Amino acid sequence: MFNTLTQQPADKILALLALYRDDPRDTKIDLGVGVYKNAEGVTPIMRAVKEAERRWWDAEETKAYIGLAGDPQFSDVMINLVLADAVKRNQVAAVATPGGTGAVRQAFELIKMANPSARVFVSNPTWPNHLSILKHLNVEAVTYRYFDEATGGVDFDGMVEDLSGAQAGDVVLLHGCCHNPTGANLTLPQWQAVVDLMNSKGLIPMVDIAYQGFGDGVDEDAAATRLVASSCPETLIAASCSKNFGIYRERTGLLVAVSQDASAQATTQGNLAYLNRQNYSFPPDHGSRLVTLVLSDDALRADWLEELEATRLGMLSLRQQLANELRTLSNSDRFGFVAQHRGMFSRLGLSPEIVERLRADYAIYMVGDSRINVAGLNAQTVPVLARAIIEAGG
């Protein structure tokens, strides 16, 4: 049986990890996979998370199963974090999932169950896993224009024109904040225009929010998601705790389905639980427990917010420094978008040849589309990157 299998295409982001690891040069710089690193290159366990873990070690009395949806308290604290008071709790169905990826995967499955002919509109570009999961599930993906190569910003007119070609019942996948891989984001008035367009055409929004707190602040980064959920008849949300709680390997996420019609909630909740059961029965508990403990304890929550804010400001300052260096070295403002982008990523707009030259000649690793992870830099390596970009012809 196994000999009928053929090799699957590698994940280009994850493949970079191995290349970087095997590079013997001690000056190498890793700007690849989207994992936060501090100035020492360490992905820290956040203080509040560590403390919650300590407390839980003492408090935990059993490891018996919980329920198909995970702990309802986790859903409550996360719904509160993402949606605040944008909608009423009885409009919301939610289940814990293994990471944001698990939520994305099951959101697509739910779409397919509810409407097998729905297409999913995705930004060009988007996180590669969106496309590969849709393909795996045999759900048609249609790209809409998003990134404007010329300005490093959003091609909003192109986006609206392409979404106007969607049909009632199609789904529009939007990144709630900190767009991956470009770093370019809609303004709130643009979000409002997209909401109006979706509502006028009967399109269903799906928001993937994986970097809440990494852009402009915890509430600011959720503002678009809240606007969508409170304005559209139905909204799907895939939320990840990997980045903002730094618990990547714990696999912690939440799939949310919001409906303005509360009578739909029980059936939707049942279908989300059904999907958990088909895929893995019970979602993992440990990461979601830590998130629940942090968010429901005033002191832990305050400490988490403080550390997250420091993380966010650190990345912003690296952006500003990089934009400044590039302005000086290029004697132009053509990289000014680096300071405007938000989140971990910026797409620099370099050709694949230049990206390859940076790897081969300078030991600087970025994704082939010239996406950099800003958190892979520090104050000392920013000038090194800027000089290399200009020398390599960027």
Instruction: Give the residue numbers annotated as catalytic, written as ranges.
Output: 127, 208, 210, 243
329 class by beta-carbon count within 10 Å (0-12 exposed, 13-18 middle, 19+ buried): middle
Least distance from ligand TYF to the Cβ atom of residue 203, Å: 25
* CB of 374 vs ligand TYF, minimal distance in Å: 12
State how far the alpha carbon of 151 is from the alpha carbons of 88, 324, 330, 350, in Å. Answer: 39, 17, 16, 13
Given 3-state DSSP classes, what are the helix, strand and coil percentages for the chain, each rounded to the nearest 5?
A: 50, 15, 35
Residue 391 CB, shortest distance to ligand PLP, in Å, is 30
Closest CB 303 distance from ligand PLP, rounded Å? 22
Q: How is residue 320 written in tokens?
A: 């500003």
146 interacts with ligand TYF by CB under 6 A: no
Binding at 313: pick from ligand PLP, ligand TYF, none (beta carbon under 5-8 Å per type): none
The count of chain residues that interact with ligand TYF, using the rule CB under 6 A, is 8
- Candidate list 180, 252, 268, 271; residue touching ligand TYF; CB under 6 A: 180
Cβ of residue 9: shortest distance to ligand TYF, in angstroms? 12
Q: Which of 125, 183, 253, 376 binds ligand PLP (CB under 6 A)?
A: 253
Residue 99 binds ligand PLP (CB under 6 A) = yes
Residue nearest to ligand TYF (CB): 34
Tokens matching residue 348: 């620099």
> Which range in 94-102, 223-231, 356-364, 373-381 contacts ligand PLP by CB under 6 A?
94-102
* Strand spans (E) along 271-351: 345-347
User: Is residue 148 near ligand PLP by the rule CB under 6 A?
Assistant: no
Dihedral sign (CA 259, 263, 269, 270): negative
13-42 residues in contact with ligand TYF (CB under 6 A) are 13-14, 33-34
Report CA dihedral (347, 349, 350, 356) to the nearest 10 degrees. 30
| Cis peptide bond upstream of 181, omega within 30 | yes
What backbone torsions phi and psi does residue 175 show, to the nearest 5 degrees? -90, 120
- How many angstroms separate the CA atoms of 164 and 171, rounded? 12
Residues that bind ligand PLP (CB under 6 A): 34, 99-101, 104, 127, 175, 180, 208, 210, 240, 242, 248, 253
Residues that bind ligand TYF (CB under 6 A): 11, 13-14, 33-34, 127, 129, 180
